[in-house]
Structure 1
């Protein structure tokens, strides 16, 4: 019993002296849990829909649904749906409502169609109520005219025949009231991207590809450098003329080659065997995956400078990787606080996932993705420079 107590005391003392482990053990899980709570408890975002010259009755009914309705002309609506700022554009083709869905997010498409069906049902109900009211009014008018006709027939007067003919005409008009036709008689649905056969997982496939690339590369690169440092290999490296920046460059280049092969394997299996849709250029996907993986490598090497053991690298995922997973597009952040959306824009995974979605789901080309790729390259450069500076300090300590 004393031996068990002594061993327990030694382990607790060891953890008590390791402040990094204590922070990762107690603070990081609470931080991630709080972040997840903010995301999931955020206001449910309404699906955005642009309307072009709709009948006022339908426009009114649409405004009563949960969808956020925005009036626009044809040119503005095209720009909005091309930029993925709206989930659909509603316009008229004769007396048919044309619903043009953006299509990549099946969930949003379903919300749009639910709003359209709700508005159409309300429009038909309102029209039916108007018809029934007109029929009741017509029946009352017919009753009055019939009574008037009976009165004329019961009290013959000069020009009785002319009065009877006029009363009969009025009776016929009351029996057949003029009704305005229903403004919309049908709905035609078209897809800008995708189609009815797309599943909800097709929208999240690119997200998981980006997440898995980033996470596993981060763990592998960070643990590799820490293992070499704790095993003495790094010390032997530093006795040679090689500099810290050259060591990090070598690691980044090596993992860049591995990420090239990894990208081909993951993308090939995802598209060929799992069945993820891909309507864009495969080489854009490979380039994006390589940049994302190399950014993960540079972040892993930067974080490894803060870790003393490979186990701490895994623990640091809670601080440096898990928030990126939550904010990269796995959840819809349009209803989240603005500060949380701003943090999401500071995560490299967000830009990688956006490019993967643009290419795989929308078939976008270089003109649509180059800014996101430039952002990824910027993260890569910043993480590399910071990692090199931190590594140079460690090199200086070792060489003393």
Structure 2
């Protein structure tokens, strides 16, 4: 027991003297938990919809739902849909048929848009039913009042004729036609009838049918298809980061790095060699992952396969350079794992794995500061929307900008760390 306690004291003593590891041990989990609390504490997703010249009643019903509704022109609606800025466009296909033109790449947003339309139609139908019942009641009361007025007028006319007939001589009464007496005896109940009431239900419900069309994808796409590019990017980034980060720390621990520095080779050349080597390995890894994802799992790909490969490899190389940067900050392999929680996990959480449309503005802005966000956007645009190089050029440029930034910072940190004189 004494020897066991001695071992435990040694471990605790090592942690007590390693301030960086001790800080990461508490800071990293707290940061990740805090991000999760913010992400999962946001309001429920309310789809953004664009409407084109809808009936006023239906437009009002839509605006009362949990959605962001904008009334735009036909061209503006198409541009918003093409740029993935709305979940769907609503327009009338004919006088009574509503067309829901869904963006389609995200089945969750499409379902949310259809649910909003269904709720608005239910409210509209309920309101139309109440108005129709009120109009029927008013019309019925109007007919009943007309019947009563006609009956009173007939009774008054009958009384007047009877008075006139009393004043006539018997000979004149005998000469009156029998149809006059029949008219006096007739009832006014059949003069007007509720059956004469004519109401067109279509005039109360302007939308009677709904058709759903897809700008991208189709009705068979599921939520997993939308997250396919996210998983590809995350797996490439996370696993490549661990491999590259661990390797440099292991090289330093084994003394290989010291022998490298004893040669004329420069730190930038060392890091460049690591980047090329791991970049080549990531190319093979990317090929294997894409073959499995597209050929066996069945992720959809609407775009150019070569562009998908280039975007995925760019993500892997960004992870390699970030791994080299972080490994320069870490003294042990254990610290690499802890730094991963700070440098990689927040990127994963803010890359598109969660919908940030309802998140605070600062959190959305923070998500734009990471390479994974741009890599995921590029892969989604190509695989789900068939985007070309011109459409994803900015995202890919940002990824390569991060690659250059990480490499430069890694080279500077590497040079600074190994330029320190050895302590005696």
Relative to the length of structure 1, the TM-score reads 0.94
CA contact (8 A) 1:145 1:170 kept: no
Evaluate the alpha carbon distance shift between residue 398 and residue 352 of structure 1 in structure 2; reply closer, same or farther with a 3 A threshold.
farther
Displacement of 1:397: 3.4
CA RMSD of aligned residues (A): 2.4
CA contact (8 A) 1:210 1:353 kept: yes
**Pairing of 1:208-357 with structure 2 (within 5 A):** 208-357=231-380
- 1:38 corresponds in structure 2 to 38
SS at structure 1 position matched to 2:157: coil
The whole-number CA distance in structure 2 between the counterparts of 1:168 and 1:364 is 73
Evaluate the alpha carbon distance shift between residue 218 and residue 398 of structure 1 in structure 2; reply closer, same or farther with a 3 A threshold.
farther
CA contact (8 A) 2:132 2:204 kept: no
The whole-number CA distance in structure 1 between the counterparts of 2:115 and 2:84 is 19
The range that moved more, 257-266 or 347-356, is 257-266
Could you give the per-residue CA deviations for residues 165-212 of structure 1, whole angstroms, max 9, x where no partner exists?
Answer: xx9999369932455352112111101111111111111111010000
- 2:83 corresponds in structure 1 to 83
Aligned residues: 399
**Pairing of 1:1-400 with structure 2 (within 5 A):** 1-94=1-94, 95-156=96-157, 171=192, 175-179=196-200, 180-397=203-420
Relative to the length of structure 2, the TM-score reads 0.89
The whole-number CA distance in structure 1 between the counterparts of 2:199 and 2:25 is 76
Evaluate the alpha carbon distance shift between residue 101 and residue 310 of structure 1 in structure 2; reply closer, same or farther with a 3 A threshold.
same
Displacement of 1:3: 2.0
The range that moved more, 38-47 or 313-322, is 38-47
What runs of 5+ residues in structure 2 fail to find an aligned partner?
A: 162-179
Displacement of 1:300: 0.4
Could you give the per-residue CA deviations for residues 145-177 of structure 1, whole angstroms, max 9, x where no partner exists?
Answer: 222222233233689999xxxx99993699324
Could you give the per-residue CA deviations for residues 356-378 of structure 1, whole angstroms, max 9, x where no partner exists?
Answer: 10011000111110000000000
CA contact (8 A) 2:97 2:209 kept: yes
The whole-number CA distance in structure 1 between the counterparts of 2:422 and 2:349 is 41
The whole-number CA distance in structure 2 between the counterparts of 1:117 and 1:253 is 54
